[in-house]
């Protein structure tokens, strides 16, 4: 029995791990882009667009991720937009995590001293030059630790997409227990898989935070 544990459990879980990783990668990159653009907009106060972005971050941060996922997966088909669980998962992760990343990036930009903005202006730099050479290099240092923490939350949120039918790590674990495997063992191993992915990122985030 012990010899079969590898084929029976570990190999199955690795196939689930593949989907968890795909989902995390796609959602991380896209939500970082959303957060970056929306964070920039929020920091420069364009009248109407800033209100729209404020409304977006306010609503999304007040809503549980699972509810958002259900809304996207169940309400959109009502308007004849059918999404696969994977696409629905990526979309809801990007909307959800994008809002948090917006706040992180905005606070990073705003934490750079006002004098730096004024100095850049007085040197005759335009907005893009100012951001590229003065503000962002300083802001990145501050935003990196919370951003890494947010990536960990994103990876952990992917587990919920198993509830709409994507066979990710958590769902494979659930299926194995339905076949009568020991749930303690299975979910412990599933936990170890997530731990191996997330703990290094948490560790880096903690270290960066201490060094800032």
What whole-number distance in Å separates Cα of residue 181 and Cα of residue 174? 10
Query: Please, which residue, 57 or 130, has the CB nearer to another protein?
Result: 57
Token duo for residue 161: 């997409």
Query: Please, which residue, 137 or 183, has the CB nearer to another protein?
Result: 183
What whole-number distance in Å separates Cα of residue 178 and Cα of residue 171? 10
Query: Please, which residue, 135 or 186, has the CB nearer to another protein?
Result: 186
Query: Please, which residue, 91 or 112, has the CB nearer to another protein?
Result: 91
CB–CB of 111/191 below 8 Å?
no
Binding site for another protein (CB under 8 A): 59, 61-67, 70-71, 74-75, 78-79, 152, 156-160, 162-163, 170, 173-174, 177, 182-184, 187-188, 190-191, 194-195, 197-199, 202
What whole-number distance in Å separates Cα of residue 101 and Cα of residue 148? 10
CB of 198 to another protein, least distance (A): 4
Token duo for residue 191: 């936990």
What whole-number distance in Å separates Cα of residue 29 and Cα of residue 12? 27
CB of 129 to another protein, least distance (A): 37
Query: Please, which residue, 129 or 182, has the CB nearer to another protein?
Result: 182
CB of 169 to another protein, least distance (A): 8
CB of 137 to another protein, least distance (A): 28
117-150 residues labelled b (16+ CB within 10 A) or e (exposed): beebeeeebeeeebbeebbbeebeebbbbbbbbb
**Helices (H) and strands (E) in the chain — how many of each?**
10, 0
CA distances from 58 to 28, 61, 109, 131 (A): 21, 5, 19, 26
Query: Please, which residue, 36 or 86, has the CB nearer to another protein?
Result: 86
CB of 139 to another protein, least distance (A): 23
CB of 24 to another protein, least distance (A): 11
């Amino acid at each position: 029995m012990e010899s079969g544990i590898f084929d029976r459990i570990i190999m199955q879980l690795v196939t689930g791990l593949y989907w968890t990783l795909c989902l995390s990668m796609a959602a991380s990159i896209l939500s970082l882009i959303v957060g970056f653009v929306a964070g920039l907009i929020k920091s420069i106060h364009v009248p109407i667009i800033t209100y729209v972005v404020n409304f977006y971050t306010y609503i999304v941060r007040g809503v549980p991720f699972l509810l958002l996922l259900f809304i996207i997966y169940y309400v959109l088909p009502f308007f004849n937009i059918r999404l696969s669980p994977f696409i629905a998962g990526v979309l809801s992760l990007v909307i959800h995590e994008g809002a948090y990343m917006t706040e992180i990036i905005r606070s990073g930009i705003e934490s750079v001293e006002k004098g730096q903005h004024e100095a850049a202006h007085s040197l005759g730099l335009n907005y893009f030059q100012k951001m590229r050479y003065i503000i962002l290099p300083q802001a990145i240092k501050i935003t990196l630790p919370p951003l890494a923490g947010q990536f960990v939350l994103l990876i952990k949120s992917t587990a919920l997409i198993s509830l709409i039918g994507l066979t990710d790590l958590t769902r494979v674990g659930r299926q194995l227990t339905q076949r009568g495997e020991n749930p303690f063992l299975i979910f412990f191993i599933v936990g170890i898989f997530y731990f191996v992915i997330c703990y290094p990122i948490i560790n880096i985030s903690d270290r960066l935070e201490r060094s800032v």
